[in-house]
C-alpha cells in the first residue's frame, strides 16, 4: 500500500468486507513492536480505547519540537493553506 501526501491509505476491499467497514465507520490503528494493527472502532471498549490513547500519548510526550511556531502556523505547515476558508 502506498501512503498519500496527506497520510491516507486505502483499506483493501477484502479487509473492509471482512470487518464490515463502510463509509463513515470508525477504525483505530494500534501500534505494536511489529507494526500497526487496524481495528474496527467499535471492536474496543471505551476503557481500552482510552487506555491505548493514554499509552500512546505517554510514548510521544516531548517528541515534537515546534520551535517558535504557533498552533495556527503548525496547522498550516501540516495541512497547507485552506483556500476554501475566509482569510479574515
Please indicate, yes or no, if residue 43 is contained in any of the structural domains: yes
30 within 8 A of 52, measured Cβ to Cβ: yes
Please indicate, yes or no, if residue 19 is contained in any of the structural domains: yes
Q: Is the pLDDT of residue 13 over 60?
A: yes
Q: What is the mean pLDDT of residues 77-82?
A: 85
Q: What is the mean pLDDT of residues 61-82?
A: 86
82: left (phi over 0), alpha (psi -120 to 50) or beta: beta
pLDDT score of 4: 93
Please indicate, yes or no, if residue 54 is contained in any of the structural domains: yes
pLDDT score of 1: 81
Please indicate, yes or no, if residue 68 is contained in any of the structural domains: yes
Q: Give the number of domains in the chain.
A: 1
What is the span of the domain harbouring residue 40? Answer: 13-79
Please indicate, yes or no, if residue 53 is contained in any of the structural domains: yes
Q: What is the mean pLDDT of residues 38-53?
A: 80
Please indicate, yes or no, if residue 4 is contained in any of the structural domains: no
Long-range contacts of 33-36 (CB under 8 A, 24+ apart): none
Please indicate, yes or no, if residue 39 is contained in any of the structural domains: yes
- Determine the straight-line distance between the first and last CA of the chain, rounded to whole angstroms: 40
Please indicate, yes or no, if residue 34 is contained in any of the structural domains: yes
Query: Which cell is 68 given?
Result: 517558535
Instruction: Give the pTM.
Output: 0.44
Average pLDDT along the chain: 84
Amino acid at each position: 500500500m502506498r501512503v498519500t501526501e496527506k497520510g491516507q491509505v486505502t483499506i483493501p476491499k477484502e479487509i473492509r468486507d471482512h470487518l464490515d467497514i463502510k463509509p463513515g465507520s470508525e477504525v483505530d490503528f494500534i501500534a505494536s513492536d511489529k507494526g500497526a494493527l487496524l481495528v474496527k472502532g467499535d471492536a474496543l471498549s471505551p476503557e481500552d480505547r482510552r487506555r491505548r490513547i493514554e499509552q500512546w500519548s505517554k510514548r510521544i510526550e516531548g517528541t515534537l519540537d515546534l520551535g517558535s511556531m504557533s498552533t495556527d502556523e503548525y496547522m498550516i505547515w501540516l495541512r497547507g493553506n485552506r483556500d476554501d476558508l475566509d482569510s479574515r
